[in-house]
Structure 1
Amino acid sequence: MTYQPIVPLSGYAGWKVLTRTMETQKAAFTASATVQSDEEYFRENIGNISSAEELVSDYKLLKVALGAFGLDDDIQNKFFIKKVLEEGTISEDAFANKLTDSRYSDLASAFGFDFTPPNTALSSFSDEILTQYEDRQFELAVGDSDETYRFALNVQRELPELAAEDGSENTKWYTIIGNEALATVVRTGLGLPESVASLDVDQQLTVYKQKAQQVFGSDDVSQFTDSENVEKLIKYYLLREQVMNGSTATSSSSIALTLLQNASSFSARF
């Protein structure tokens, strides 16, 4: 049986409770029988896998591999995943490098089936993948209670990593735009309508950068190496979601609206 994380409140108040109890709740989740069974099987068998074909042919190993990168829904798309893994990322023309969603190139790079031997032969490999698996699966479990918290946890983990990467700021923005989970939080947190997602990617880039400049005083993604800016983004995201969804807690909604109005007034002065 898998431990189900407890989130007793909604909105930003619930987020603060979740972050305060995160360590304890995640430990309980990781210790649950289902997660332990998945991890034990992966540790015992992944070292024997030397090809993409072998990996996609083992359901239990593939489940953990995809789960570590938030690609759980692709468990039945074996031909697609095999192609991603087989071509790797070394070649610029590799299949994963052509996909907008960077999770596929991350998956291909991690397993390294375009190397001999692949990364599965490394002694540290299982620990690295299972750490990611635990993070992602905990986020999914939290999302069963409230999907907004899953998105918030994902941004808390992924955005600082992206912000710290080498490369142009525009490339980082394109990565956000191409990642639904990141884009949802950033777009909502910046106060942009969902319709922005239907624009051409270059138009989206302009809109995102302009709004980030207004709200944060900078249009650089690198500013999110600062945990305070990440928390501010998550706060705005959760408050706006709470208001848009018509929370039944009138006082909480009123507080959320006041905070957002104050934030807008502050941003307008810059």
Structure 2
Amino acid sequence: MSFLPVVPMGGYAGWRFLERTIETQKAAHDEAASMKRDTAYFRENIAKVTSAEALVADHRLLSVALGAFGLDDDIGNRFFIQKILSDGTQSDDALANKIADKSYRKLSEAFGFGDLAVPNTQLSDFPDRIIAAYQTRQFEIAVGDQNADMRLALHLTRELGTLASADSGDDTKWYSVMGSEPLREVFETAFGLPDSFAALDIDKQMEVFRTRTERAFGDGEISQFRDPEKMDELLRLFLVRSELAASAAGFSPAQTALTLLSNAAR
């Protein structure tokens, strides 16, 4: 039986509850029978895989590999994933380097089929690293099935802190945020940006993000989110704005009129 996370409420209060209980809940999730079967199979068999072709040929191994990088939906795209893996990342022409979503690059780097004479699947600690990432991502998916905002919040705390601490330049960090659908959604929601915002020129988008970020947090750069307090401020803003948007969507003028008519008829 699969473990169902407990998310009793939305908004910032729901996030604080999840924060307090996450260690216990994640441990229970990782001990679920289906999770243990999948991770045990990966641990026992991944060292036998020495090529991209061999990995994509094993559905169970590929499922864990993709799940560790948030690419679960690509499980049916075997030839595409094989190309990503076999190209590696060192060449400018490598497919992973041409895709905005850097999850594919991370996948290819992690396995090393296209870059290394001996792939990383032969390293003794490789199964544990991939399994830990897989368990984390699958827990986030399970939380998201209960509350989509909580999944975004978990993704934010995992990815944005790492990005903020990276050695890359300020512009590169913003491009990474804009190229990540979950991170972009958090920032767009936190700042109340419309759906049409994504249609703007990419440099104009960065300018708007920086301006709104500086206005809200006193600094326009991603590096500031190394500070846990700044991260918490962003989470609070995102969750409050998301709740307000959901409430507004639930009370359109037509619905309000129907409610008033219904109450008047009583």
| Same fold per superposition (TM over 0.5) | yes
| Match of residue 206 from structure 1 | 207
| Match of residue 51 from structure 2 | 51
Q: Deviations over 1:5-64 (max 9, x none)?
A: 011112111111111100000000000001101100000000111111011110000000
Shift of 1:103: 0.5
Q: Deviations over 1:65-107 (max 9, x none)?
A: 0000011011101111111111111112211011100101010
Q: Deviations over 1:88-127 (max 9, x none)?
A: 1111221101110010101000011021100111001011
Within 5 A, what are the aligned runs for 1:109-124? 109-114=109-114, 115-124=116-125
| Match of residue 264 from structure 1 | none
Q: Is the 8 A contact 1:190 1:233 kept in 2?
A: no
* Counterpart check, 1:96 vs 2:99: no
Kindly name which structure, 1 or 2, has the bigger radius of gyration based on alpha carbons: 2
Within 5 A, what are the aligned runs for 1:3-82? 3-82=3-82
Shift of 1:210: 1.0
Q: Is the 8 A contact 1:139 1:150 kept in 2?
A: yes
* Counterpart check, 1:183 vs 2:171: no
| Match of residue 258 from structure 1 | none
Q: Deviations over 1:144-200 (max 9, x none)?
A: 001111111000100010111111111110111011011101221233233212222
Other structure's SS at 2:247 match: coil
Shift of 1:247: 7.8
Other structure's SS at 2:124 match: coil
Within 5 A, what are the aligned runs for 1:226-265? 226-246=227-247
* CA distance in structure 2 between the partners assigned to 1:211 and 1:191 by the alignment: 10
TM-score, normalised via structure 1 length: 0.90
Structure 2 residue identity aligned to 1:175: S
Structure 1 residue identity aligned to 2:32: S
| Match of residue 264 from structure 2 | none
Structure 2 residue identity aligned to 1:154: H
The count of corresponding residues between Structure 1 and Structure 2 is: 250
TM-score, normalised via structure 2 length: 0.91
Q: Quote the RMSD (CA, aligned, Å).
A: 1.6
* CA distance in structure 2 between the partners assigned to 1:242 and 1:218 by the alignment: 25
Q: Deviations over 1:213-260 (max 9, x none)?
A: 111111111111111111111111111110100189xxxxxxxxxxxx
Other structure's SS at 1:21 match: helix
* CA distance in structure 2 between the partners assigned to 1:169 and 1:188 by the alignment: 21
* Counterpart check, 1:216 vs 2:217: yes
Percent of aligned pairs with the same amino acid:
49
* CA distance in structure 1 between the partners assigned to 2:121 and 2:148 by the alignment: 33
Q: Is the 8 A contact 1:88 1:113 kept in 2?
A: yes
| Match of residue 157 from structure 1 | 158
Gaps of 5+ in 2: 250-266
Runs of 4 or more consecutive aligned structure 1 residues displaced over 3 Å after TM superposition: none
Other structure's SS at 1:2 match: coil
